[in-house]
Structure 1
Amino acid sequence: MKYNLFQTILMVTKYSMYTFMAVVLTMSTLLADSVSGQAKSVKDVFIELDFKRGSLDQILHGIEAQTDFRFFYTDESLSNQAEVKLSQKQGTVADYLLEISSQTGVHFRQINQTISISRGKGQQATPIEVIINKEQIGVSGRVLDENGEGLPGATIVEKGTTNGTITDMDGNFKLEVTQGATLLVSFVGYEMKEVPLNGRTSFEISLNPDFTSLEEVVVVGYGSVKKEDLTGSVAQVELAEVKDIPANSVEQVLQGRAAGLQIINTSQDPGAGATVRIRGGSSLRGSNSPLVVVDGFPLGDAGDLKQVNPADIESVEILKDASASAIYGSRGANGVIIITTRKAKTGKTNISVRQQVTMSQFTSELNLWRNPALMAQLSNEARENGGFPPFYIGETSPSGIYYPSVGELASGEWPHNTRWDEIVFRDRPISNNTTVSISSSNERTNFNLSANYFTDRGVYIEDNYDKLNYNLNIGHKVFDNFKVTFTNILTRGKRNNNGGLAYWRNPIFPVYDEDGDYYLFNNNDFGHPVAITENRKNENKTLDVLSFLDAEWKVTPSLTLTSRLNYKFGHSISDVYQPKRFSEAGQFNNGAASINNWQLNTLVSETFANYTKLLGKHELTATLGHSYQYDEIRSSSLTAYDFVNETLQNENMGAGNPELNDIGNGLSETRLVSGIFRATYAYDNRYLLTFTSRADGSSKFGENNKWAYFPSGAVSWKLHEESFMAGQGLFDQLKLRASYGISGNQGIAPYQTLSRYGISNYYNDGAWITAIGPGLEVGRTGQNGIEVLWGGIPNPDLRWETTAQVDYGVDFAVFDSRLRVTFDYYKKETDDLLQQRILPLSSGYDRMWINNGSIVNQGVELTLDGDIIAKKDFTFGATLIYYRNRNEVTDLGNAEQSGLITDANTGMQFQYSGNSIEMFRGFPNLLAIGQPLNVFYGYKVDGIVQTLEEGVEAGLEGDLAQPGEYKYIDINGDDIIDEDDRTIIGDPNPDFMASLNLSLSYKNFDLSVFFNGVFGNDVLNTQAFNQPSLTPFRWTPDNPTNDYPSLRDGRQVKFSDWWLEDGSFVRVQNLNMGYTFELPQEIKARVFMNAANLYTFSKFKGYDPEVGMDGRYWGGYPRLSKWTLGTNITF
């Protein structure tokens, strides 16, 4: 029933779009025809108004609705006139205008079909002046900036009319005007200039910068504001600095570009996403990703950024404090990223073609065994030290594999030395990125259409990602005060992923055996990269569609109503086949195939009003609105095992054993209803106050806590506007800010407040078993048994996570605004953390969701932006960003509810965080009260044991006391090394992050370099013992080092600080140079070269110190440097 209703809504929406397009075409035709007729005097046009009194705006709109006349104010304050009484229902337009003039004192001047309204100049002023078909003359000229360069897009309007044009790419213009007219010439950021004709027809007009109007406009939730009027903490990313970065996702563009924004790219696989945080993590089990908003639509978390083509972005704003993000209520606790896509500018048609070709290569050499004899020698040493017989002795193993002796390998008698990396990796793969866009606009309609095709070829063979994206935006002004905008963004992606191939495979093994079959060294050889590539299937296809329909009605100059209908469709299908011989799952199940479908439908309806009123020194802005969001997720999966024939893989699931088929499907629905309010008051452009409130009702929470309220307030003081600051000569701008607010987080799965009934199949003891019952959540399969969790107990008191945040900031500019500084200190505390409570066995359940715990994040942000040299032909600038965040777990509830463990030495209470690591047989990360998130917990090491006596004296026993072993420290002093000697040994959270961007330009040439760095974090290097380059430094009786233990198979490894390394790094992230050609016929062409990830300065011994939030390094391959050549042609 619900699904059918939703389909009906979608159908209505679809046909509404058809209707909208028909209206646009019809109105364009009608409006085009309506202006072609002969102008008439207001004294000759009769109309009928069906009201006896009304405001000036109301009466004028009534006249415009029945005639071709268009009114405009020369003084906006005239729109606030009192009501006008009308004495007649029918009459000429002039009759009505005379009545208005007699009651308000305003003056009307008609030039053809345009009527201007101004204040009367005394009692002798003529109420109505009519000028029709006055003689027209042609004028032309060029508009120049302060450096004498042409200004494209400058506006030239005949004063007192709507007759006008804009300049071309070189600043030239032509216009037909009435004889004796005056031209009004304007451009954003420049002072308007009045130019009387005085008998001339040719002009060269120079405009001067208007430093009072250069403030950037910043997009905030449900509106925009001048940057200098911001009361909250909002960062704006300068897209001009990143326009040439070879990025296929927005997060790659934003990394390091804003204070408080942390982006971690741990995977370089094609199509891989990134971790995004704003001012640290605020949740333990819920979502920590910021909300992403595209053109007003709350798209989702940072994982949805891939749906936006970076080339289509007009601006990016980062809402960081509660005052800025509270307008998004329950989804604003983690900050908000607002993206505005490009729209057509007023003027003629523009076509742009952008082409990028990127070559990738490793930034460092692979750390592999290149000398098989040395590898065999050290392998034998490790096995003998562990009490095992060596492999490389020239004999056949029990599995039937012949292992040559060290001598055979050293002499070359053994013929195989396979360089698996040359087989597994492509040599400098090439990727392509092509974007074509066309935009056009006139006074009524504008449209922008772009299409992007991106092919990313990974370094692994058969590891590919292809993405097609198109973006259509159409805006139509149906009436002068009513505009409709339609946006459609479609993204289709296809990913082939081999899952990571074993390029570190033993070099003594050949690719094929003597019979031409794959060379497998035993029956459980699941790492043959060629066999995997040629026989396994792992494909994922995605389709994402975003459709926005906006209607904006400017009811009065002060009041604007906006209504939005947004729809999002997402679909993903993955096909995986694990063959019998070359994968663990395939062999264990005699072949395994799966097809998984996932589908999302989101409908968002929003209506809000923006009101602005200026009364003398008082300015009031208010936003009031309502939002409704419906999300539906459908999923289905089909898994088959035991295939008779593998030829068609998962294209013929019926070839599997029907008794073992595993079929699953799911449906979830959520709703969010919201009320929105924001008010901003400014006095004398010096004191600003903002209050924001949002009420959210979510279906995810129980009846007792369905609704939550998220208020915030902010104040700012522009000291530079004060009289006592006049003449001080230092600050061009100085503003103080302070804010406090509360936002929420609902980032958990639905239905956690309700009783749930589950069913799952799992494999145990050679047979498939079906588990069914209330609250079944997980059935884990495997050869070592299963674990079934029963977590379906309801919690009707489950409520929102709430984050209270305070922010103090200062913005100032000095040296004629050539140095701009922004500083923020913040502290945010998140309470009622969503966690799973461990339940007693007597309850019949394992766990339930509860609110329990608190986290505090606090930090500072500093941005220095300077124009060091600003000459006509030469500029040099620098931007420095510094960001420090420290978090602390302040509460995790009691031990019974949260399963807390108590440290025997300090009394510290903690939970294990994340997954265990098999090599340590334990959990290295903790959530500990009084500590940062994910701190490392383990043993401390004081070098290497040199003698057995030294090991015993240190409290070690058995093999751990042998020479060459780690010398663990006895923390509690009981002369025994056991679990009670564990302590906090490291912190994966950085002390601070920083970036530096340097840019210069000389005439048409530009050059920039961008550095990005992370400092003071610890990284767990799980590969520290597996790096061939380090084995020469191992402990031996002849090399009694204290840095590296002996080689020993079967060692009892305890997690210790020996595995931790300094993860600090500074990366030359981007080097970009380009040249812009100015060609005839208003054609502009740009060629550029970009080098990404040029070099990383770091002491880290692994390939790449950039790791996830838990600080764990898993190996992989070196970071890729990307060399891009690109062109951009606009005509």
Structure 2
Amino acid sequence: MKTINRCLRSRWLLALFASLFLAVGASAQNEVRGRVTADGQPLVGASVIIKGTTTGTSTDTSGDFTIRAKSGAVLSVGFVGYKTREVAVTAGATFLDIVLEAEEALIDDVVVIGYGSMKKSDLTGSVVSVKMDAIKDISAPSVEGLLQGRAAGLQIMNTSQDPGAGAVVRIRGNSSLNGSNTPLIVVDGFPIGDAGNLSQINPSDIESIEILKDASSSAIYGSRGANGVILIQTRTAKGGSTQVSVNHRTTIGQFTDELNVWRNPLQMAQIANEELTNAGLPALYTGQYNNGTYYPSLIEIQQGKWSNTDWADLCMRTAVVNNTTATLSHSTDKAAINLSLNYFDDEGVYKKDNFRKGNVTLNGSYKLAKNFTLQTSNIFSIHKRHVNNTLEYGRNPLWPVYDEDGNYFVASETDFGHPLIISDNVKNETQGRDLISSLAAEWEIVEGLKIRTQLNYNYSTTVQDVYNASNTSQEAHDMNGIAQMNNSLSQDVLSETYITFQRTFADRHNLSVMAGHSFDYNMGRTLGTTAYDFVNDALGNENMGAGNPQKNVINNTYQNSKLLSFYGRLNYVLDDKYLFTFTMRADGSSKFGKNSKWGYFPSGAVSWKLHNEPWMQKLNVFDEFKIRASWGLSGNQGISPYQTLNRYGTEKYWFADKWQTAIGPGYEAGREGANDRYILWGGISNPDLRWESTRQWNLGVDLAFFRRRLRVTMDYYDKYTTDLLREKYLPLSSGYDKMWVNDGNIRNRGFELTLDGDIVSRKNTSLSATFIFSRNRNKVTDLGNAVSSGLSTDYLTGMQYEVCGQSLSMFNGNPSVYAIGYPMYVFYGYRVDGIIQQGEDPGFMSSDGKDLPGELKYVDLNGDYAIDDRDRCIIGDPNPDFTASLNLAFRYKNLDVSVFLNGVFGNDVIYNGYTYDPRVKIKRWTPDNPTNKYPRLNSTRSYLFSDYFVHDGSFVRMQNINIGYTIPVRKAFIRSVRVFANIENAYTFTEFDGYDPEVGVDGIYWGGYPRLRKYTIGLDLKF
């Protein structure tokens, strides 16, 4: 019994000691709280484990965790796709802020492609993903301007700085003469048309942008994919949490150069007199009246008796842009919703010139069952644009703002150029509403087999109100005021259904199949009303009925088109080394004739992952080495409907107290009507009109070295477009001037290179660089024969060409041509060999003074001692030799700095500023200043278009400098705070004499005003 008692006492003692030990151990443990983030975002579900034990927890929806750990313990924190980090628990530690870094070697980005997505490593075509982080801080009304220089093969031209202005977008050059050259835009799976529709989307709402460049990638879009495709995915809620973010940007814009206006009125008057006397005309500034206007003498001006008005200061201001976005996102395992509100206000450099836009974006996903999901995407925008950019800031500085009675000064009854009168009495406003809406249902029938049906709707309407008061122009004065109201409406309804199947067999064969069909209905209509002859200007166009009813003009249009499509794609991967892609699409379009409604667009691509071959892995050099090859056929239906039919129309307007009928195509041969009101033939039918087809092959290589810290992508492509959609000139005997035909070929060849490197990659410091190089060679290879296509023939070379582009009045014609064997829009004109000096034989004779000293010395190419059409040749090319960009990004802890440079090289630009630029006129040729660059002044000179006006448009622009700082926060309700500042268009290196060498595809410089240097400060808050 004693033995038993001793045993019991021993057990009680053992239990007591054990309890005391556990109590001591427990007292040595602390409750440790923390937050796990990456790239400023919380990581939901990250694992937090005490190293060497099985004790652990995971982060909640805010990235927060709580765990009990003793001092000295090590926490192992991990998340898929990120480097595992070990953090020691120190004495007294209560909160740990843990930031994980992405593990590049583990990440295989998912890339959106047409009708689906796939791993980036499995791509067989040429697809580029734009880095959204690089453009997130730039304030802009539309995304296309932000993409400039961000992707190889993508050319963006920001040709206007007016508020709300868009940009010109091209992928791998121009492929059509008269059809569309802009890429297809697809938003959340909905093709919304060309790049002009990008203005409907708030850039802050965009999550990803993919650019499909080769035919293998874009052929799935068939007749609309020939010019490439830009895929945009808007943001959706993720992470099983509720998140709120607010960001604001304020931008001010100032000119990068001085305006080309006269600052010295005496010098201006002297130059004006010289221009007239050189032309054999009397001087203007002589202290006499001329056509009702008094022009002071040079002595009066010198004595300061007249004004020196700074009209630019009266017309212009510092541009101010405010851009605010608020976003709410919430997600659970059953539903996700993302709501974004944006307001954009751009006060342009012209006073009263502005653009305002509001955006609402609502995306949702609802899991109604384990295998059934509903998704919706909605973008609604409203905008208002007030145009006031026609003010004459170059008005004569001698004219004062006000007269002696305090009224606006006008030099004569025909002086309609006073900027303040125009600003007060001209109305030009446009308001618009746009809606992009999609509803999709996806059903996973069995594992790997899904069917998706989607209904898309795009609605756009605009209303333009214009009124020109009777004191704002000669025409408005003669017509006692002109009022206009123009309405437009467009709708696009797209229904499509497709099925996908994906399965891996025997761990070697990965198969993905997609097939579907779609039907697209597009409708557009316009209604325009013009009224004249108002009793007074009080009501403007608020009451157009107040105009003379006999002079009212009403015009309207209506058109619709339909597109029926069937498509499919097969992807096959063998052993994660050999990849194959085949696509096919058939499109039937109502735009084409009964004989050619259907087009068929196949494509194929193969790829080889050499880095997964055992013999390549032994070299231990490449982290990635992939070769890609593709070929495909895509189409272009970018013409208006009804071009295959006989077309009729009317063009009637009131002038000189009677109805006038415009002389259009077929006027003499086909007009019908009575009482001077006619129906005009608009064009003749062509039932054989068919698709423009583009065949393209692409060879590419993807490389990665040094644990993927250096990544290289190279592509070479050959893009050949046949059956060009163009308006063919017809013989005069037909009674028509043009008709739509398929005639001609264009070839684009090019090379693209992207170098992407992580130069420094450490815990607190990183430095990365991205270099992009693109080279495209464009050539018109065929335009039909000269007889049937209305082509002209060059006298010296026999080259056949067609005049194209825009006409310039100073040259009395078009400077650009489509010439066989040359790029599109090449310049065709005369060569100049300096300035004719006194006593020099110019090498030609002229009856209009072009052979006098001080004039341009034209080159007599055919040697007949005369300058005429037979001396013309190709004198310039607006297409660049290549483009390049460089982006540098540096981060130290919470500080980030980036610099972006963009360059265009080897393009020519037509610059006509010599005829009006004061800085040039003061350097003109005179007997005392025998310059060989600037000709003498002559107010009646008729210029021949020559290479004197063709300038090198190459430039390198420091496009953006950005600095930002993420402020550490410890508030439970604030996830992150970031402040930043950037400068856009910081400096441009160029030898171009005009304001800005960045012009449109035709290379014509239109003047305007200098590019703005924009200073932005911003704040991003996340809750």
Asked whether the equivalents of residues 145 and 166 of structure 2 are also in contact (C-alpha less than 8 Å), the reply is no
Q: How far apart are residue 734 of structure 1 and its match?
A: 0.5
* Match for residue 1128 of structure 1 among 1005, 1010, 1020: 1020
Asked whether the equivalents of residues 789 and 846 of structure 1 are also in contact (C-alpha less than 8 Å), the reply is no
Distance 2:84 2:763 in 1: 22
- Deviation per CA, 1:204-241, whole angstroms, max 9, x where unpaired? 99989665540111100000111111000001100011
Distance 1:479 1:266 in 2: 50
- Deviation per CA, 1:597-648, whole angstroms, max 9, x where unpaired? 1011111111111111111211111111111111111211111111122211
- Deviation per CA, 1:636-691, whole angstroms, max 9, x where unpaired? 11111111222111111011111111112222111111011000111000000000
SS at match of 1:273: coil
> Do structure 1's residue 804 and structure 2's residue 695 form an aligned pair?
yes
Q: How far apart are residue 1044 of structure 1 and its match?
A: 0.7
Distance 1:1063 1:1042 in 2: 21
> Do structure 1's residue 819 and structure 2's residue 707 form an aligned pair?
no
Q: Give the alignment of 1:353-752 within 5 angstroms.
A: 353-397=246-290, 399-414=291-306, 416-426=307-317, 428-616=318-506, 617-752=508-643
Asked whether the equivalents of residues 141 and 172 of structure 1 are also in contact (C-alpha less than 8 Å), the reply is yes
SS at match of 2:708: coil
- Deviation per CA, 1:423-455, whole angstroms, max 9, x where unpaired? 0001x2322111011111111011110100010
* Match for residue 336 of structure 1 among 223, 229, 234: 229
| Amino acid of the structure 2 residue aligned with 1:1099 | E
Q: How far apart are residue 897 of structure 1 and its match?
A: 2.7
SS at match of 2:615: helix
SS at match of 1:1009: strand
Q: Give the alignment of 1:750-899 within 5 angstroms.
A: 750-763=641-654, 766-770=657-661, 790-899=681-790
Asked whether the equivalents of residues 948 and 962 of structure 1 are also in contact (C-alpha less than 8 Å), the reply is no
Distance 2:63 2:788 in 1: 71
- Deviation per CA, 1:523-543, whole angstroms, max 9, x where unpaired? 433322111110010000010
Asked whether the equivalents of residues 482 and 530 of structure 2 are also in contact (C-alpha less than 8 Å), the reply is yes
Q: How far apart are residue 843 of structure 1 and its match?
A: 2.9
- Deviation per CA, 1:911-965, whole angstroms, max 9, x where unpaired? 11112211111211010000011001111001111136513x4344440111100
Distance 2:839 2:481 in 1: 51
Distance 1:796 1:888 in 2: 29
| Amino acid of the structure 2 residue aligned with 1:413 | K
Aligned to 2:192: 299
* Match for residue 929 of structure 2 among 1011, 1034, 1039: 1039
* Match for residue 315 of structure 1 among 208, 232, 244: 208
Distance 2:198 2:945 in 1: 37
- Deviation per CA, 1:481-520, whole angstroms, max 9, x where unpaired? 1111112110100000024211111101112222333322
| Amino acid of the structure 2 residue aligned with 1:830 | T
Distance 1:1037 1:552 in 2: 81
Q: How far apart are residue 1025 of structure 1 and its match?
A: 2.5
Distance 2:148 2:677 in 1: 41
SS at match of 1:731: coil
| Amino acid of the structure 2 residue aligned with 1:1091 | I
Q: How far apart are residue 835 of structure 1 and its match?
A: 1.1
Asked whether the equivalents of residues 940 and 968 of structure 1 are also in contact (C-alpha less than 8 Å), the reply is yes
> Do structure 1's residue 1072 and structure 2's residue 991 form an aligned pair?
no
* Higher RCO (C-alpha under 8 Å, 6+ residues apart): 2
| Amino acid of the structure 1 residue aligned with 2:998 | E
Distance 2:985 2:677 in 1: 44
- Deviation per CA, 1:290-309, whole angstroms, max 9, x where unpaired? 00000000011000001110
Count of paired positions: 967
Q: Which runs of 5+ in 2 are unaligned?
A: 1-30, 50-55, 69-74, 87-93
Aligned to 2:14: none
Distance 1:501 1:660 in 2: 28
Aligned to 2:21: none
Distance 2:478 2:325 in 1: 46
| Amino acid of the structure 2 residue aligned with 1:326 | A
More divergent stretch after superposition (282-291 vs 638-647) = 638-647
Aligned to 1:217: 110
C-alpha RMSD of matched pairs (Å): 2.8
- Deviation per CA, 1:76-131, whole angstroms, max 9, x where unpaired? xxxxxxxxxxxxxxxxxxxxxxxxxxxxxxxxxxxxxxxxxxxxxxxxxxxxxxxx
Q: CA 1:776/1:685 → structure 2, altered by over 3 Å: closer, same or farther?
A: farther
Aligned to 1:197: none
Distance 2:771 2:680 in 1: 50
* Match for residue 1001 of structure 2 among 1100, 1109, 1113: 1109
- Deviation per CA, 1:439-487, whole angstroms, max 9, x where unpaired? 1111101111010001000000110000000101111110111111112
Distance 1:660 1:150 in 2: 64
Q: Give the alignment of 1:6-155 within 5 angstroms.
A: 152-155=43-46
Aligned to 2:834: 943
- Deviation per CA, 1:327-375, whole angstroms, max 9, x where unpaired? 1000000000000000001222111111111111111112221110011
Asked whether the equivalents of residues 645 and 655 of structure 1 are also in contact (C-alpha less than 8 Å), the reply is no
Aligned to 2:824: 933
SS at match of 2:945: coil
| Amino acid of the structure 2 residue aligned with 1:1026 | Y
Asked whether the equivalents of residues 760 and 778 of structure 1 are also in contact (C-alpha less than 8 Å), the reply is no
Q: How far apart are residue 155 of structure 1 and its match?
A: 4.8
Q: How far apart are residue 252 of structure 1 and its match?
A: 1.7
Q: CA 1:672/1:221 → structure 2, altered by over 3 Å: closer, same or farther?
A: same
Distance 1:832 1:514 in 2: 67
Asked whether the equivalents of residues 760 and 770 of structure 1 are also in contact (C-alpha less than 8 Å), the reply is yes
Q: How far apart are residue 845 of structure 1 and its match?
A: 2.8
| Amino acid of the structure 2 residue aligned with 1:459 | V
| Amino acid of the structure 2 residue aligned with 1:603 | V
Asked whether the equivalents of residues 779 and 787 of structure 1 are also in contact (C-alpha less than 8 Å), the reply is no
> Do structure 1's residue 1118 and structure 2's residue 1010 form an aligned pair?
yes
SS at match of 2:863: coil
Q: How far apart are residue 145 of structure 1 and its match?
A: 8.3
More divergent stretch after superposition (857-866 vs 549-558) = 549-558
Distance 1:919 1:418 in 2: 28
Distance 1:923 1:827 in 2: 30
* Match for residue 274 of structure 1 among 167, 171, 176: 167
Q: CA 1:173/1:937 → structure 2, altered by over 3 Å: closer, same or farther?
A: farther
Distance 1:335 1:571 in 2: 27
| Amino acid of the structure 2 residue aligned with 1:717 | W
Distance 1:164 1:743 in 2: 53
Q: How far apart are residue 1077 of structure 1 and its match?
A: 1.2
Q: How far apart are residue 844 of structure 1 and its match?
A: 3.4
Q: CA 1:349/1:573 → structure 2, altered by over 3 Å: closer, same or farther?
A: same
Aligned to 1:113: none
Q: How far apart are residue 591 of structure 1 and its match?
A: 1.4
More divergent stretch after superposition (185-194 vs 1115-1124) = 185-194
Distance 1:360 1:207 in 2: 39
